[in-house]
Amino acid sequence: MTIHAGRIRVLNDAAAREDGDCVLYLLQQANRAHHNPALEFAIAEGNRLGLPVVAGFGLLDGANGFPEANARHYAFLLQGLADAKAGLLRRGVGFVMRKASPAEVAIDLSRRAALLVLDRGYLAIQKRWYREIADGVDIRVVQVEGDVVVPVEIASGKHEFAARTLRPKLHRLWDGFLEPVAAQVVRHRADGLGLESGIDVSDPGPVLAGMSLDTAVPPVKRFTGGETQARRRLEAFLAEGLSGYGGGRNRPEAAAASHMSPYLHFGQISPVEMALAVRAAKAGDDDDRQTYLEELIVRRELSANHVFYTDGYDTYAKAVPDWARKTLAEHADDARPHTYTDAQLAAGETHDLYWNAAQAEMRETGYMHNQLRMYWGKKILEWSPSPEAGFARTLRLNNRYFLDGRDANSFTNVAWIYGLHDRPWARRKVFGTVRYQSGNSLKKFDADAYVKTVERLCAAEA
């Protein structure tokens, strides 16, 4: 088994423990039992050392819960973990889940382990966990990247200006990283180790009911978590949706989307697996495939680049470029054509029928087509008392209702509304030279048909 060396990082100077009774894998970002480089690396090391592999997961809850996560997010996460656990056990990998931070779980379980393997995410909270773990254990810690196609530092050593500056770098590199990850045979099963799990996630419902979290945003019926569901959606998209995607992706009324972003956010499917499947698909043409790969790799990894190289990526002052903050400040006192409270925006109670429909789709189903996300965000900027207030409320709504909220893409997309990865445009009220989006953008698709689609989706949730 070969994993690209660029995916592997050793995080400390410790050696493997000679008397350890397992190889520990902290399953945290890559919540799947297959096509998972970190897991396969751990299994290969276990086979080499003659040891079983145990996957550990730390479930944040109560006051220490994941920032802004609510019942909607946790239901999807737990469904995915139930699926991952079943897949791991079938392969002979142990699974331990406890209510604690990922760092606490890793440090505690590492006391019996010969080696600790981590997967990788790029958010600030994840980077903090990795530092705590590397400082808190006395065994070798190896991190294996499986969340993007090209690891962020290899793609670029700096914050990129825009997609056009990152794209050629990714294109030069990605063929070397688009490698399938074969499932290793587990030679030493993890039966009988006696490690206490504390939580049985096989039935996610009772686990969710026993948590202390925000239940005002309920789980949705539109999406079910887990790598099994992720692959079913991908297969359906490749068979029915990829053909014509290049020209039809901006038509939300036609559901011209793969709807894979929640599964990518929770690590329930590999972007490499998806890219290989798109490349090999019999449906569609080169334009369809290249358009999808542009979104899956270039746009998504531009977002990873932004959050990795930006301290304070969730704040207006740090995430929005200087030129955009300057022009927005110059127009901060411009009269707004409409203003709304946070509650009115959340409820979709504005004068704009189409904006309200987009908000309803997000609020009730946890998803919104990308074509509407841009319009939705630009209008919040236009209807807010200041750009700072607009940024904060856009991010709050985004992270509260979207299943794929709190993601690198989310933080980057919100900042894009305010000028990130963009250039100055013609000057106008409120926006200054930040890109404006008018109702004319709705003429690119059948907006009335979209409203009817959202009504059906919301009725299904009810």
Q: Which range (136-150, 351-365, 430-444) has the least confidence?
A: 430-444
- Mean pLDDT score across all residues of the chain: 96
What local confidence, expressed as pLDDT, does residue 447 receive?
93
Q: Is the pLDDT of residue 296 over 70?
A: yes
Tell me the backbone φ, ψ of residue 114, rounded to 5 degrees: -85, -30
Domains, the chain, ordered by start: 316-461 (1.10.579.10)
**Mean pLDDT throughout 202-211?**
96
Read off the tokens for 118: 């981590």
Whether residue 203 contacts residue 82, with contact meaning beta carbons closer than 8 Å, is answered with yes
Round to whole Å and give the CA distance between 179 and 192.
34
Round to whole Å and give the CA distance between 99 and 105.
8
What local confidence, expressed as pLDDT, does residue 248 receive?
82
Whether residue 363 contacts residue 405, with contact meaning beta carbons closer than 8 Å, is answered with no
Tokens 């704009």, residue? Answer: 352
**Mean pLDDT throughout 409-435?**
97
Q: Is the pLDDT of residue 116 over 80?
A: yes
Q: Is the pLDDT of residue 247 over 90?
A: no
Whether residue 152 contacts residue 23, with contact meaning beta carbons closer than 8 Å, is answered with no
Q: Which residue has the higher pLDDT, 441 or 359?
A: 359
Segment 149-194, tens digit of pLDDT: 999 999 999 999 999 999 999 999 999 999 999 999 999 999 888 8
Q: Is the pLDDT of residue 1 over 70?
A: no
Q: Is the pLDDT of residue 141 over 90?
A: yes
Q: Which range (46-50, 232-236, 254-258) has the least confidence?
A: 254-258
What local confidence, expressed as pLDDT, does residue 19 receive?
94
Q: Is the pLDDT of residue 253 over 80?
A: no
Residue 441 banded pLDDT, cuts 50, 70, 90: confident
Read off the tokens for 450: 């979209």
Q: Is the pLDDT of residue 263 over 70?
A: yes
Read off the tokens for 285: 């043409």
Residue 62 banded pLDDT, cuts 50, 70, 90: confident
